[in-house]
Chain A
Amino acid sequence: MSGLFGSEWETLGSAAIRKPKTQLSFTTSMGRTMHIELETPANTLSICRDASQVVIAGRTLFKIFCIEDEEFVERANLRVGKKNLNYSSVDVVWHPNDDNVLASAATNSAVITWNLGKASGFKQDHVFNDHRRTVNKVCFHPRDDMLLSGSQDGLMKIFDLRKKEATITFNGQSESVRDVQFMQFQYFSFAAAFENGNIQLWDIRRADKFYQQFTAHNGPAFSLDGHPEERQWLATAGRDKSIKIWDLQFKPVLMHTVQTIAPVTRVKWRPQRKFHISSCSLVIDHTINVWDIRRPYIPFATFEEHKDVATGVVWRHDPHIFLSASKDCTLYQHVFRDAKRPGDKANPVGVDINIFGDVCHAASDNLGGGSHNRGTTASYSSTKVPSFFRKNPEPEEQTRAVCSNVYVFTNKQSRFSDWFCLSAMKYKLSDRPFGELCDHNAQVAENFGRHQICQSWKMLKLLSAPDVSSSTSATFFAIPTTSDKEDKAVTGTEVPLMRNESRTDTNMGDSTGLTSENEESETSDVEHDRAMTSLASNIASHSVFFGDGEDDLLDMYRYDYSGNETTEDWHLPTEAFQPRHEIRDRSPSPDQLQQVRPESPSSCNDSETLSIHNQFLSIPTSDNINPMPMSAVISTSLQPWQFKQIIRDMLHFYAEQGDVQMTVSALIVLGDRIRNLIDETTQELWFMSYIELLCRFQLWVVATEIIKLSNHHAVGALNQASTTIHTNCNKCNKSLITSGWVCNRCQSITNTCSICHHVVKGLYVWCQGCSHGGHLHHIEEWLKSSSWCPAGCGHKCEYS
């Protein structure tokens, strides 16, 4: 041993002199991105001392190319003669100092040296058959004629190239060796990476045992590379998709971790760039990435030329040019200026606005005005980051790290949400006469300083409130436009009916209605004198509709609503002599129409309604009782048409402005006055948009009310869908599978009231515990006196 090293000390001196030359020789070279197609996939490559030639090797490939400025020129093919497994290389390496010497590691466990200086075509020099299994890696000593190999059999050997024999064998007593490399700055040391993720450091003077071992990776460690300048830095990479940078000074300290997206097969430091390291992947990722280890999340540069995974990377002693071999059968020279910079594509800002108008802005602290590096230091001093960040990062390192500052700009003034939510809650859309609703809503808008909305409500009242004069009230029933047939279909059927009832006994209807229907007392709060008649009809309609309206909740609402509509139509002051016309006009088919209406309100025959209108129109001309002259009739009959157009335009205007609240509110208040002028899909869009807005502000009650008042089948269906309540049969206590109120098991109806034993229609309240319940008011009464279940099941019911 001592003789071996004695001789090598001499060569060390000469190598040290030669080395700077090699670096100088290529700093001026400017290559370009170029490639050459190979016949077969390449496993590995290596360049010669002055980086002018490259050897590339694979299973069936062993060639040397000269690297010209514009292209690769094949210089030699080492696979000559008989097919031989020795040619099938896993790794190849060029002698660092002698351009004629190559070494390769073969799949058949041989380590072969090649002498390019041979005169014949057969350049193979010597074959070492010392390993028992595939040799994964060979490495020349940087200054000496020593060759180091690492094999699948778990052994590492040093071959003396002059003696042509394996002089030292190292047994890692671990798993297969994936990579070996002499430490550049320590003459006697080398590092080895093992399949179990361990890294071992050896001194070649002590063949019995490594002097250092640490576990670097979870799973196999595939590659390692000592830093070309930092004496103690070692990069390792493994199947756990990470590249780790270790400081080996005393004991190995993890300095940086680069997390990649795929298992890493090769890492190589970028020359003259202290913090840059290149990597290529085993699978998935075909790109070659160059990382800045200080920013371990985004590759500093990527090279995407390869169509399959790259298997080897070698720098041409120049930080801007490197070569790569790939499984896609190409040899590439990459130039840094053609790299993609993912960091540039990574957007440095994020912004979002929430429903309250608050703006959240996350921006890189590098951006304009971002003089805050407080965020940077804060993140490094965080206890969550690995220990290496805590140990005083170098100043340079600190500046490199990019961080974002997050600011939330809270909108404190004139928030959309403020007036929107409050308006939504305060608007009154039904249960009052039309004019009152408009006034109320105008007031609400006024309170929020939204004068335009306020004005719009007021004008709505003026334009469509029919109680401006008696003449307009007449015209309301006599609109001869063809576009609102449906309108007339509904009003034409209901209004005469109401009139009929209230006309037959004018004040009697009032009094009886008020006395008999106490539950409608909230309606009697309306104390407009001129609304008295409408009140009567309102109550009348309520009683009528509640009478037969217990079958379906939605239908009930619809009735309710239409009843109110007629109220509003009807509460206009009318002349005493008008009823005669009404009675006569109504005669065609009020009953028939009323039968038709509940099923399909719009199914009225057009011709029929038109005929009604014709009769309406004919009234003033044929009857002298009406004081209006003919001209007045014509003018008034035209006016509403204009108004409706204006109102329609107004609704559309607000919708286009994004104020769907106004649109929908006005649409509901106007109801059938305007409905038929706007097509169904548009209405649905408006309703849906408004409902979604309300949901975003969590105004569920208002949203439900809008759905209820929408009178639109698709919107109304919202309340019927998407809510599921699981109930149990109150007899057998098994869960009800089918929808409806019949228990499959005991074949009985389950929604009988526990108190009156009638089937409950309408609101049914039940105990979640025992499934018994009944009419809301019955249960309420019962619970006043007892907390036990009225069915006598002994359950202490809880109604929350």
Chain B
Amino acid sequence: MFVTKSISAEHKDLIHDVAYDFHGRRMATCSSDQSVQVWDIGEDSEWHCTANWRTHSGSVWRVTWAHPEFGQVLATCSFDRTAAVWEEVVGESNPNHRGQNHWVKRTQLVDSRTSVTDVKFAPKHLGRNNIILRIELCVVDIAVRLQNEISCKMNCSCISWNPSRVHPAMISVGSDDPSTTGGGKVQVYEYSDGNRKWNKVETLMTVTEAVHDVAFAPNLGRSYHLLAVASKDVRIIMLKPLRRAQSTVGQHSGVTRFEVRQPAQFDEHNSQVWRVNWNITGTILASSGDDGCVRLWKANYLDNWKCIGVLKADGTHHGPGHSGRSHSSHVVGTSATSGASSSSSGAAAGNSSQSSTRVRFTVSPVTDIRVDQKYSVFF
């Protein structure tokens, strides 16, 4: 079971994002109070704040770690229309923060004309060749270059890199445009080496509500991609690349086609879902919403996604029985046994009541009519 620990972060306003580093031993939080805090797990397995510094002149929406191969590097993005990359400097003493590590701003991206809503480092394997990067980290001077730009023609709120190594570089972009008529709110782009640009390969037309977060699951050798979407509900989208026709000789000439399925959709949060995150193997999805809960989801061996735990904001947690409704698109018999579940942690999922009725999500009217604007994502 989970052991809950409260951390007294000295942020003076909302914390918008938390991010663990690659090895799970450091954590960064960013807040509207314009600062970022870095936490390290100590010998006593407690989290200690080792750095706290002001990063932007506006709310810091997101913080993300780079692959440790590039050093201890963080990227932040902010309401002040900039994104910045920070590197931890070891050995330099900072008189202002005694005992605290020193983070130096390595670069700042000032190209955006609106609030920068998300920043993500490209997967490591893309980080070394200088073609397809969101933010390219040169080994020598950690310079960041503006590489590429996609005009999404929508209000982008979040992006996610596909971490898969063998597939062409792929990102998914979500929009938090509140109008529900604008069509699909999640777009998937793929980089084409052939003509050196990003092609839109898919628009998820089923997602029409404002999207707050998207997350590709770690691929780990799967033949398909799993994309979690946080909107008014949690959705899990499966993108299975269809084999290219043999006739296309050049490997990168064609655009990959996908078979798109939606294995799961949950509205247990009963409110806006703000964040989705996968575990390391892409088998458990954590979602967090306005109800103040973290809900953990896992698929059983029949690809039937179930809630396996609810973690409350006040530090308590419940087992899956707490909310047994599952809104999977699959109709599954109740003879599910957990024996085939590959991970013992998920074995408990089987005993929740399995009503497999599919609940349709009703669209609630949006009161505010806001001026639609054209945004673009900067690369």
In A337-385, the 8 Å CB interface with B consists of: 337-338, 340, 342, 345-364, 367-372, 375, 378-380, 382, 384-385
Q: Which residues of B contact A401 (CB under 8 A)?
A: 12-13
How many interface residues does A have (CB within 8 Å)? Answer: 91
- Does A660 have its Cβ within 8 Å of any Cβ on chain B? yes
Residue B343 interfacial (CB < 8 Å): yes
Q: B19: CB under 8 A from chain A?
A: yes
Alpha-carbon distance between A578 and B130 when the two chains are bound, in angstroms: 58
Q: Determine which of A357, A403, A407, A453 lies in contact with B284 in the assembled complex, contact meaning CB atoms within 8 Å.
A: A357
| Residue from B9, B24, B164 in contact with A362 in the complex, judged by beta carbons closer than 8 Å | B9
Q: A346 touching B59 by the CB < 8 A rule?
A: yes
Contact A349 B340 (CB under 8 A): no
Shortest Cβ distance from B163 into A: residue? A692
CA distance in complex: A342, B286 (Å): 25
In the complex, what residues of B have CB within 8 A of residue A657's CB?
Answer: 283, 301, 342
A449 contacts the other chain (Cβ, under 8 Å)? Answer: yes
Whether the Cβ atoms of A408 and B7 lie closer than 8 Å is yes
Tell me, yes or no, whether A5 is within 8 Å of chain B by CB: no
Partner of B371, one of A305, A361, A370, A722: A305
Chain B residues within an 8 Å CB radius of A371: 314
Q: Are A685 and B164 in contact (CB under 8 A)?
A: yes
Q: How far is the CB of B304 from chain A (nearest CB, A)?
A: 14
- Name the one of B20, B292, B340 contacting A452, with C-beta atoms under 8 angstroms: B340
Closest to B270 in A: A368
The answer to whether B6 touches A284, judged by C-beta atoms less than 8 angstroms apart, is no
Q: Are A347 and B5 in contact (CB under 8 A)?
A: no
Give min CB distance, B10 to chain A, whole Å. Answer: 5
Within 8 A of B (CB), among A679-706: 681-682, 684-686, 688-690, 693, 696-698
Q: Is B88 an interface residue, CB under 8 A from the partner? A: no
Could you tell me the distance in whole angstroms from the C-beta of A211 to the nearest C-beta in chain B? 34
Evaluate contact between B342 and A659: CB separation under 8 angstroms: yes
* A410 B79 Cβ-Cβ under 8 A: no
The CA of A404 and the CA of B24, in the complex, are separated in Å by 21
Within 8 Å CB of A305, what residues of B? 371
Q: Which residues of B contact A71 (CB under 8 A)?
A: none
Whether B343 lies near A349 (C-beta < 8 A) is: no
Distance to closest chain A CB from B298 (angstroms) = 10
B265-294 CB contact bits vs A (8 Å, 1 = yes)? 000000000110111111110111111111
Q: A355-B23, A406-B6, A452-B340 known; A660 and B220 CB under 8 Å?
A: yes
CB within 8 Å of A: which B307-337 residues: 311-315, 317
Q: Which of B277, B284, B301, B314 contacts A351 (CB 8 A)?
A: B277
Q: Are A360 and B18 in contact (CB under 8 A)?
A: yes
Is B93 positioned at the interface, with any CB of A under 8 Å from its CB? no
A643 in the interface, Cβ–Cβ < 8 Å? Answer: no
Nearest CB in chain B to that of A340: its residue: B370
A413 closest partner in B (C-beta): B1
A298-B79, A685-B166 are known contacts. Are A357 and B58 too (CB-CB below 8 A)? no
Q: Give, as a whole number of angstroms, the nearest-CB distance from A444 to chain B.
A: 15
A304 and B371 within 8 A (CB): yes
A663 beta carbon closer than 8 Å to chain B: yes
Does A654 sit within 8 A of B, measured CB to CB? yes
Task: Contact check, A696 vs B223: say whether CB atoms are below 8 A apart.
Answer: no
Asked whether, in the complex, the Cβ of B2 is within 8 Å of the Cβ of A359, the reply is yes
Residue in chain B with minimal CB distance to A259: B57
A352 touches B281 (CB 8 A): no
Contact with A along B165-201 (1 / 0, CB 8 A): 1100000000010000000000000000000000000
Contact, CB under 8 Å: A406 / B29: yes
Most buried by A among B8, B288, B368: B288
Contact of B202 with A by CB under 8 A: no
With an 8 A cutoff between CB atoms, is A762 at the interface?
Answer: no
Interface-located stretch among B31-39, B255-263, B350-358: B31-39
Q: Is the CB of B288 within 8 A of A349?
A: yes
The reply to whether B10 and A384 form a contact with Cβ atoms under 8 Å apart is: yes
Does A588 have its Cβ within 8 Å of any Cβ on chain B? Answer: no
User: Are B13 and A403 in touch, CB under 8 angstroms?
Assistant: yes
Would B312 and A369 count as touching, CB distance under 8 A?
A: yes
The CA-CA distance from A684 to B164 in the complex, in Å, is: 11
In the complex, the answer to whether B6 meets A362 with C-beta atoms within 8 Å is: no
**Contact residue among A347, A451, A663, A686 (Cβ-Cβ distance under 8 Å from B275):** A347
Q: Is the CB of A261 within 8 A of B32?
A: no
Bound complex: CA A284 to CA B58 (Å): 14
**Is B165 touching A656 in the complex (CB atoms < 8 A)?**
no
Which positions 702-739 of chain A face chain B at CB distance < 8 Å?
Answer: 722
Residues of A within 8 A of B339 (CB): 451-452
Return B347 CB to nearest CB of chain A, in Å. Answer: 8
- The reply to whether B345 and A351 form a contact with Cβ atoms under 8 Å apart is no
Kindly state the separation between the CA atoms of A352 and B58 in the bound complex, as whole angstroms.
23
> Do A353 and B284 contact each other (CB < 8 Å), given the known contacts A369-B312, A406-B15, A684-B166?
yes
Binary interface encoding of chain A residues 640-676 relative to chain B, with 1 for a CB under 8 A from any of its CBs, else 0: 0000000000001011111110010000000000000
CB pair A414 B29 closer than 8 Å? no
The minimal Cβ–Cβ distance linking B26 to chain A, given in whole angstroms, is 9
Q: Contacts A409-B294, A689-B220 given; 13 further ones with Cβ under 8 A?
A: A353-B277, A353-B280, A354-B27, A354-B280, A360-B27, A368-B290, A407-B313, A412-B1, A415-B345, A451-B339, A682-B223, A686-B221, A698-B23
30 pairs of residues in contact across A and B, judged by CB atoms under 8 Å: A297-B58, A298-B14, A338-B368, A349-B292, A350-B29, A350-B275, A352-B18, A354-B25, A357-B280, A357-B284, A358-B20, A359-B296, A360-B18, A360-B20, A404-B14, A404-B15, A408-B47, A414-B344, A414-B345, A416-B279, A652-B223, A656-B223, A658-B342, A663-B221, A682-B223, A684-B165, A684-B166, A685-B219, A693-B220, A693-B280
